[in-house]
Amino acid sequence: MYKKAQLQVLHHSVAMLSFYCSDAVLEIAFTMCEEDCVDQIFGAIGMERSRNSRQERLLWLGKRFAHSYPHHGGSLAVIAYALHCRPIFSLQRTKFCCERALKMDLTSITGWQVLAELRVSEKSLSSVQLCVTRGQEAICHFRNAYGFSLKVAELRLQLVLANAHLASESHDESAKIFSNIAESAGKLEDAEAARVKFAAVEGLIKICLAKELFEEAECKLEELLALDANNHWALAELGWLVFQRGNIDNACTLLVEAVHGQPDIASYHYRLGLIYWKAGDIVQSHKEKAVEQFILTVKLDPSNGDAYHFLGNYYNLSARDKQRAAKCYQKCVTLNPEDSEAGESLCDILDSGGQETLEAVICHDASQKSRRAFWAWRRMGYIQVQQKKWSDAVGSLQYAIRGYPTCADLWEALGLSYQQLGMLTAAIKAYGRAIAIEGGPHVFPLIQSGNIFLLLGSYRKAIEQFQLGLEFAPQNLAAQYGLASAMLGMSKECRALGAFGWAANLTKEASEIAFASCLMFGNVAAVWKLLGDIQVDYVHCLPWEKEGESFGNESEAFSYSVCSWKQQRISKAVNAKRAYQHALHLSPWQANLYKDIAISIDLINYLHGNEMSDENSWCLAEVMALGALMLESNNAELWINMGCLSKQKAIQQHAFIRALQVNGFNALAWAHLGKLYLRECQRDLARQAFDHARSADPLLAISWAGMSVHDHCEGSKVLLEAFASCLYAVQLLPVAEFQLGLGKLAASTGQLQSSKVLAALEQAVQHSPQCPESHNLSGLVWESRRYFLHAILSYKRARYAMQHFGGQSKSLSYHDVSLNLARALCQAGKAKDAVNECENLEKAGMLGSEGLQMYAAALWQIGKDDLSLEMVNKAVTISKENIKASTIGLVCKLVYQISGQVSAMTKLLKTPRDILTDSNFSLTAFAIAILDCNGRFPMFLSENFNLFFLHERSPKLYSLLAAGKQLSESANIRSGVQNAELVLRKALHMHPQSTLIRNQLGFHLLSMRGKSSHIAVRCSCRDLDISPSVQGSTSTPAMLGAAAISCSNCGTRNFRITFSTCTNEGVDGVNVILQLQRWFHLEPWNDTAWYLLILNIFQKAREEKYPNHLCRVIKQLVSSVRWNLFFNKGGDNCPYKGFQLLLCISEIYLQSGDYSGSLKHAISASQLHVSDGMLFFAHLQLARCYASQQDLTSLHNEYKKCLQLRTDCEIGWITLGLLEARYFLQGQNNTAAINHELFLNKRDNAQNSWMALLEVVRGQGFIWHEDFQSAEEALVQACSMWPEEGCLHLIHGAICMELARQSSRSEFLYMAKRSLLKAQDIGHSALPMVSLLLAQAEASIDRKKAKWERNLRLEWSAWPADMKPAELLFQMHLLAVQSRGMSERENDRPECSKSSRSWLLLALHLNPSCSRYWEALKQDS
């Protein structure tokens, strides 16, 4: 009956719609299409049974009635459904039609289903869920309104929702829905329900495939085929799974059946084509079948780019049809721009055909369509690099690297682009990334990186890169050429720094590499030119090696060594000329090669010593330079080269002027022109030329050297400027010519002691050993530095050079060198050799006034006094007026040494008064007069005061006067020191800038006992400069170093470590160490600098409680080599300094816990030959070592030795007293205190402070033995002896507090209060713990809260922020508890900055072992 009623309703609806428009009737008709089991009903009204399905029913009704109801929602929904059912449909058009239908009719089940399926393609799960929900609401509406079942329609909506979950990879949720659909559809006996069930099973299979459960998916596919053997989808999927397992035959059979079942699905043809393509590797005929399937695929689905890809591969590789292949690849790239294989193949085809423009267009289009088409960016970057569009290439390659970060070619191309754009740092990084990629030798980036480093002047890094490149490609010309060039550049750099030996080794190795390149690539001119450049550089940098001092006594050995050195240079110069000639044969059009040949020829002539006799004739070098100009007449460098090589002055001037016409800012041309004018004595023109050169290039050495020569010609007024200019020229270009000029200027200006002059002349000796002047000047420098053996060796070499190579000139002759040699021998103590030299000069008639003076000094040294006086008197008679004063001074010195001070003074009184104006003679006369014992000095001084003290040497005279005052009081040393101090103070007022006076006054203050070290520091801290001429203990750093260790407070600046109780301010110990380090760095041979540096670092270590790093520094400074050299030198101060150093090292080992090392050094100190007062400290250190080892027997023995030796140093007795008190060494009496008291009583003014400290030591001993009553008595005695020292009152107060705690007697509290109040009032600065103890004492006595709070706040301000002790923090906790509830005005007090609990926690953190703090914490909680 229900079916009959449905048929009648459908029949009447169709009939009514044929002649009457009714929306309700149309709605019922469309809903009937969605109803269950209506196939027979639609067949009864005329619809073919074979086509009776939901899709056909909707399309059949749509075709019949949609034109009649164009604005009905159901009609538009059917149209959207029809569009959606097409194999190829427009998503936007279908979506627009569907949304419009739903706006008209919200109850359209078909509309909601189609929209949901469209949302699935958009992967919008939330939209799909909304559409399904609205569709179910529409189904409910029709069920309620018309009684329809619509179960299949509901299952279709659920099917869409499951597909949405599957698309969003929610596999579990989608599997659950698919299973419910399959179960529900299986219960319905309807064809549409069966289709829905099959769709659900397909969904479950898709989930298995997505989860890669291939076996389960295959089983379900087979079950599906068992139900429907003609299911094309199941056949296709099963065939694909079989293909993936490798069973090609079965897969092919299944896919063929699927294609026959549904030939209009492109994916089936594509999969079948892939199977045939795979089988085509075995059977060639299958390739053609695969092509047929791919053609069918693209016909059915023109958007399948993969099919075009395989077609392109077939036409490109098999059919060899490049044109068709290019079209297929192009279609593939158009559809899928990210297909890199197709894109690369297409670009290869176009590139082989020369179609670069089309290739670039395709790459550009692909890159614009997809930002992930990295192949297109890469290919486009390569094309732009090939077209040298470097800026565009950088952007393309950077984007391509995102897709191919491990592609070395991309990084290389990017580095090349950066390099061409001048972005060298970025290029180096890009090449570095290319090198770091694994997968083979990356020679190109290594070579290019080396070239960049070579361009930047980083020769060391360039060498490393080229060497790595040669490891991968040993015969690579670019790598060999770059490595040789880098070594040449580094050689020039080393030569500029003065490292000639290293430079020679580098050029030698570079020469070997370049020669190997020439053998392999002999037709490359650049390689031959590089070889020539390296050989020329080797000639310039090859140093003459000294073979030891003993060889200096052998003239023939010296000659052989120099000749070998010259021959080696000549050989290299000839090889360079041959290399240039070979390069010229290969490239005769290069003008620079002519120039190089000309330079090499001129170098060979110079090394051979060939000089042209006829200046008007042309030499071969000039001819070659002229040949270069014929090729490039507008090259300024070639004109300069012509001017330098020519011997004709007119040609030289013309060449330099012509170079300036080509380039008016050429500094080298201006410099050589100035040099030419200077030789012609045209000084004004020369100065103008040199000024132009320096303005054009301030770093050109020859212009500064020329100005130095010009200033030297001007006279003595500008000698210092000439020296400065020449020094700068030597620093810019260390050549022998400039270095010899610097040595001559240093001799004229008194700068021979400069380390820079010494280094320059040593280099000059290495580069011109055949030149006597270099050896002579080197000897003068060594002599000025008092290294006489080195000076003697240099003078001898200068004579050998004159004998074998000539070299005498107006400025230097053989007898000048012999005279210098005699002087050096005399000063070195080799008087007999000096006498022989002078006798030889006298026989030759070359002994002048200066020679006679040296002769006299040498004769006096060997004991021939009469002959010595005869020679010096002879020197006086023949001496000129300018040296007469020095000769008379020597006479006075010899008379003083031979006949004594009286005869010398008599001789001095007979000298003319005008000679006293000479500064050197005045020093000699003043020194002799000071030593006069007959009282003639005051009269002599008053008569000649104006002559003595009116020149620049007056500070030295005051220094001598102070020394005389000190020596005159030999009976009373302290009085003599005080008199000397008065003289120096007066001299300092007259000469406040004199470093000599300041340093001498500082040392006088340091030599006095008492607190004068801070005054000495202030006296000498004006000048901290360290000049090479300042040596020994008279230098400012030496005085500061001595002051820093003379007072324990001078180095104390770190109050985080200790509190200073000294009222005087010393010098900062850290700055002193820095100054001493600088001094030691400048003069590493200076023992005083080394000694003071060790002592100051030891002082700092003692202050900081001997940290490990400072102990290691001291141990490293005291190295075995330096230690042995120091003790082997001998001298008056050596035992004392060695004694001090041994004690310091012993203390370092003792504090480090190495008792055996400490004992070893202390024993070494006790074995030195020093005074008993010093040996006292050695045995005291031994006693401390034995005490640390608990060796009481040895300790007692050393204690007795200390009592026997005695000392006048108070700190020694204090330390010995501590040992007595600690180890019960004194017996019944305090022996150390008794001895010390006896010692103080013998002095003029016994110091109560030291006696007070001895009482403190006694008190410390009592405290160690817990006898606080005796300790209190000892401290009372100490306070009475030294009442102005607050620390003593602090100690007494603390002892009284302890006695009050032990005995509970109030009188001790009152005593503690009085002592602590004195300590609080006396101290120049707030002492720690004073106010804290005072607060506790006052709180215990009168319980007054205000005094307790005031003292606690005073104690808080006395401590640095990071040194507050735990007890003070606990007291602040108590104060904070008392201060709770105070007014806002009082919140700025320190205890209010934290809560009481915070103060307590801080105290516990610093001292967690205190039980009082834990009890307070329990109460607070």
| pLDDT per position as a tens digit, 1303-1327 | 878 888 888 888 888 887 875 566 7
Task: Name the helix (H) or strand (E) containing 437.
Answer: none
User: Residue 626 to residues 72, 605, 612, 622, 632: CA-CA distances in angstroms?
Assistant: 104, 18, 18, 6, 10
| pLDDT per position as a tens digit, 144-170 | 776 677 777 777 778 788 888 877 778
Dump strand ranges (E) for 231-275: none
Please say if the pLDDT value at position 977 is more than 60.
yes
| pLDDT per position as a tens digit, 1060-1101 | 555 555 555 567 888 888 887 777 767 788 888 888 888 888
Evaluated on CA atoms 1081, 1082, 1087, 1091, the torsion sign reads negative
Quote the DSSP letter at residue 1063: S
Q: What is the mean pLDDT of residues 929-939?
A: 60
Which position has the token pair 């020149």?
Answer: 951
Quote the DSSP letter at residue 1409: T
- 3-state DSSP assignment of residue 1172: helix
pLDDT score at 1161: 87
Please say if the pLDDT value at position 419 is more than 90.
yes
pLDDT score at 225: 74
CB neighbour class for 1389 (10 Å; exposed up to 12, middle 13-18, buried from 19): middle
DSSP tally for the chain: helices H, then strands E: 75, 0
Highest mean pLDDT among 125-129, 345-349, 839-843, 875-879: 345-349
- What is the Cα gyration radius of the chain? 54
User: Residue 368 to residues 334, 372, 848: CA-CA distances in angstroms?
Assistant: 11, 10, 97
Q: What is the mean pLDDT of residues 777-797?
A: 87
Task: Name the helix (H) or strand (E) containing 752.
Answer: none
CA distance 82 to 98: 11
Residue 1145 identity (one-letter amino acid): I
Two structure tokens written together for 813: 């002759």
| pLDDT per position as a tens digit, 201-218 | 777 777 787 777 877 777
Average pLDDT for the chain: 78
Highest mean pLDDT among 914-928, 1310-1324, 1405-1419: 1405-1419
pLDDT score at 1388: 60
Is there a contact between 377 and 399 (Cβ–Cβ < 8 Å)? yes
Task: Name the helix (H) or strand (E) containing 1224.
Answer: none
Task: Provide φ and ψ at 1255, rounded to 5°.
Answer: -65, -35
Q: Which residue in 433, 460, 466 sits closest to 448, CA to CA?
A: 466
CA 723 to chain centre: 36
Is there a contact between 56 and 39 (Cβ–Cβ < 8 Å)? no
Q: Which residue in 1047, 1053, 1041 sits closest to 1078, CA to CA?
A: 1041
What SS3 string covers 838-907?
Answer: HHHHHHCCCCCHHHHHHHHHHHHHCCCHHHHHHHHHHHHHHCCHHHHHHHHHHHHHHHHHHHCHHHHHHH
Is there a contact between 84 and 56 (Cβ–Cβ < 8 Å)? no
CA distance 1214 to 1236: 9
CB neighbour class for 72 (10 Å; exposed up to 12, middle 13-18, buried from 19): buried
- If one counts every other C-beta atom within 10 angstroms of the C-beta of residue 1308, the result is 22
Quote the DSSP letter at residue 1392: G
| pLDDT per position as a tens digit, 1317-1374 | 888 787 556 677 777 787 778 777 776 677 777 777 777 777 777 678 888 888 788 8
Return the minimum-mean-pLDDT range out of 250-259, 476-485, 797-806, 897-906: 897-906
Per-residue pLDDT band for 425 (boundaries 50, 70, 90) equals very high
Task: Name the helix (H) or strand (E) containing 722.
Answer: helix 719-732
Is there a contact between 196 and 156 (Cβ–Cβ < 8 Å)? yes
Is there a contact between 1230 and 1258 (Cβ–Cβ < 8 Å)? yes
Task: Name the helix (H) or strand (E) containing 980.
Answer: helix 973-990
DSSP of 21-90: --HHHHHHHHHHHHSSS-HHHHHHTT--GGG-SHHHHHHHHHHHHTTT-TT-HHHHHHHHHHHHHSSS--
User: Which residues 6+ apart lie within 8 Å of 884 measured at CB?
Assistant: 876, 915
Quote the DSSP letter at residue 915: G
| pLDDT per position as a tens digit, 693-715 | 989 998 888 888 888 887 777 66
Return the minimum-mean-pLDDT range out of 227-231, 351-355, 736-740: 227-231
Q: What is the mean pLDDT of residues 378-405?
A: 92
Is there a contact between 1150 and 1186 (Cβ–Cβ < 8 Å)? no
CA distance 1263 to 1297: 13
| pLDDT per position as a tens digit, 1117-1165 | 876 555 665 655 554 456 778 888 888 889 888 888 888 888 888 898 8
pLDDT score at 413: 94
pLDDT score at 886: 65
Is there a contact between 232 and 265 (Cβ–Cβ < 8 Å)? yes
Helix, strand, coil distribution of the chain in percent, nearest 5: 75, 0, 25
Q: What is the mean pLDDT of residues 319-342?
A: 89
CA distance 1174 to 1150: 20
- The percentage of the chain sitting over the pLDDT mark of 70, rounded to a whole number, equals 76
CA distance 97 to 335: 27
Per-residue pLDDT band for 421 (boundaries 50, 70, 90) equals very high
Q: What is the mean pLDDT of residues 1188-1193?
A: 86
Task: Name the helix (H) or strand (E) containing 716.
Answer: none
Please say if the pLDDT value at position 128 is more than 70.
yes
CA distance 213 to 1124: 85
CA angle 50, 60, 110 (to 5 degrees): 105
- 3-state DSSP assignment of residue 1178: helix
| pLDDT per position as a tens digit, 1240-1251 | 554 544 467 777
Please say if the pLDDT value at position 177 is more than 60.
yes
pLDDT score at 914: 60
| pLDDT per position as a tens digit, 2-45 | 445 554 555 445 544 444 445 555 556 656 566 655 555 555 45
CB neighbour class for 320 (10 Å; exposed up to 12, middle 13-18, buried from 19): exposed
- pTM given for the model: 0.65
